[in-house]
Amino acid sequence: MIQEALTNTLKHAGPDATADIQLRYGEGGSVTLTVTDTGRAVRSGSPGDGRGLPGMRERTALYGGTLEAGPRPHPERGWRVHLHLPEETPQ
């Protein structure tokens, strides 16, 4: 997920964008990931397959998690991807 979110930053946020990654592990194996960039949405010159965010949502759902992605609220610029995977179920 980190790689995919950063790839989206490179493709869409513009040349001066920066990105911040926060990764937290909770008790019981829960994981929370937030990738935030400071860019502006720009169309990339290379067409993608359009599966970035839908693919991330599908993989997140496989593990019972949630994924939120979208522009940051005004007046902030950029985009935010927030992933939460719940505690692991004991096997």
How do residues 34-76 score in pLDDT, each as one tens digit?
Answer: 999 999 865 555 555 557 888 899 999 999 999 999 999 888 8
pLDDT at 88 over 70: yes
Mean pLDDT of the chain: 86
Coil vs helix vs strand at 23: strand
Q: Which amino acid is located at 41 in the chain? A: A
The SS3 call for residue 30 is coil
pTM of structure: 0.81
pLDDT at 32 (0 to 100): 97
Q: DSSP letter for 29, please.
A: G
Strand order in the sheet with 19-25: 19-25, 31-37, 79-85, 66-71
